[in-house]
Each structure stands twice: as C-alpha cells, then as structure tokens.
C-alpha cells in the first residue's frame, strides 16, 4: 500500500483507562496499532472472544471485505461482535471495515455486521491502480484539511436519517459518516502521519466508557 510522506500532525493524547482493539484477522491492522500507540493508547490485536471482551472500542481495518466477513464467521466472532455493537461498543470501520458495518452492501458474498444505516458500494473508485489522495474537511476535526488515501475504496452512497455526514469529496461523494457510537470512513487514516482521525475515535471510546456505570474504571474486565 502507498504511504503518504507527511509531517506528523498532532492529536490529543489517548484517554486513560480505556483499551482499544483492532480486528486482526486480515488487512492493515498493524498500521492502526501503530497509530493508536503513537497517541499513547492501550491497543491490542483482537482475534478471539476473550480479546473482544477486553476492549472498550474496536477498529475494523481495511483489507478484503469478503475475506474479513468469512473470517468473522470462521472465528465465531460475527454474532458476538454484533451483540456488543448493539449494546454500545464504539466501532470504527475503515475501507473494508466500513463495508462490514453497513446494513446494505450490494454483491457481498457473506453477511456483514449490518449495524449502521448506510449503503456502501464496494470498489467504487476502481482498481488498485486507481488509488488516489485528497484533502478532506472532516466534521469534528479542527485545523488543516486531513490528507486522505483511497485504495480500492468504497463509497457511502446512502445515509439514513440518524446518520451524520462527516466528510465528502469535492463532487459531494460521501466518504465519512457516523451514527451514534459508530464511525465509517472510505479512506485509510492509518497510512499517514496525521493521527487526528484516531484521536477522534479515541474520544468516542472514552465518552462511551464514561457513560457506562462501571463503578470506577471504564475498562472491561481482563
């Protein structure tokens, strides 16, 4: 995958006492871990039910959406992950991850998680050779536009009434949206040195953890 060579852009440090997981079945999960840890986050790979139960938030990375969907079933994670999302687990899907969050995905050969009221079109911008970069103004992120990398990227072709539009390309194509504790982006923030999208998600995780009656720590039991 191409990497944008950029000067690091600062983001707020990770909140204390929350743990974020990155689904590590396939795709560029390692890059997300690097980004999260650069912000001081307690971040772990998630491949098992035990690991899933130990996190306050989860990132589903880019990769092959059909492969990740199959592996979620093979690792007995599809149902438990959907249940945790329904109960309020913050989840951010990037590229393939956005596809898996969507309720409507034409031509996906395995069921997605189907938890976010969006329609996502797979490979909407073409093949690997059609990858591109764009400057985006993202709602909730202050400062200069965010440099976004699109690789065999999907687009969000429809959003439901309860979904907030966060970023579009110049032609109005939707490439980032949120719905409550869910975040979806068509691009790959983990491939740049700009950590502000990861900072935004960490803030979502911290707010969700603080809103739960835990008797102190917002972190699930290890």
Compute and round to an integer the Cα radius of gyration of the chain: 16
The span from the CA of 18 to the CA of 161, in Å, is 30
Catalytic residue among 31, 32, 121, 188: 188
Pairing type for strands 164-168 and 174-179 reads antiparallel
Residue 149 structure tokens: 């990398």
H/E stretch holding 177 reads strand 174-179
Other CB atoms within 10 Å distance of the CB of residue 111: 13
- Identify whether 121 is a catalytic site residue: no
Q: What crossing angle do the helices spanning 29-38 and 196-210 adopt, rounded to 10°?
A: 80
Catalytic residue among 31, 121, 181, 190: 190
CB 183 within 8 A of CB 165: no
- Identify whether 32 is a catalytic site residue: no
Q: Which of 186, 195, 179, 211 is nearest to 91 (CA)?
A: 179
- Identify whether 190 is a catalytic site residue: yes
CB 35 within 8 A of CB 198: yes
Catalytic residue among 95, 121, 181, 198: 95
Looking up tokens 């998600």 gives 201
Q: Which of 88, 83, 93 is nearest to 23 (CA)?
A: 93
Dihedral angle computed from the Cα positions of residues 140, 170, 180 and 12, in that order, rounded to the nearest 10 degrees:
-30
Which residues are part of the catalytic machinery? 95, 188, 190
């Amino acid at each position: 995958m191409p990497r944008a060579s950029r000067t690091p852009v600062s983001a707020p440090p990770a909140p204390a006492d929350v743990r974020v997981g990155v689904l590590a079945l396939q795709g560029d999960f390692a890059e997300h871990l690097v980004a999260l840890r650069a912000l001081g986050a307690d971040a772990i790979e998630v491949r098992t039910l035990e690991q899933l139960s130990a996190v306050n938030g989860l990132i589903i990375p880019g990769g092959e959406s059909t492969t990740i969907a199959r592996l979620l079933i093979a690792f007995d994670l599809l149902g438990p992950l959907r249940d945790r999302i329904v109960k309020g687990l913050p989840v951010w899907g990037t590229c393939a991850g956005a596809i898996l969050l969507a309720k409507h995905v034409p031509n996906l050969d395995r069921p997605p998680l189907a938890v976010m009221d969006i329609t996502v079109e797979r490979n909407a911008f073409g093949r690997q050779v059609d990858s591109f970069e764009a400057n985006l103004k993202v709602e909730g992120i202050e400062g200069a536009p965010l440099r976004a990398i699109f690789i065999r990227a999907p687009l969000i072709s429809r959003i439901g009434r309860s979904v907030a539009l966060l970023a579009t390309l110049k032609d109005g194509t939707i490439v980032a949206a949120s719905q409550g504790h869910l975040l979806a982006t068509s691009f790959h923030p983990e491939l740049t040195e700009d950590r502000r999208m990861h900072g935004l998600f960490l803030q979502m995780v911290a707010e969700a953890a603080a809103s739960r009656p835990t008797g102190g720590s917002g972190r699930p039991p290890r």
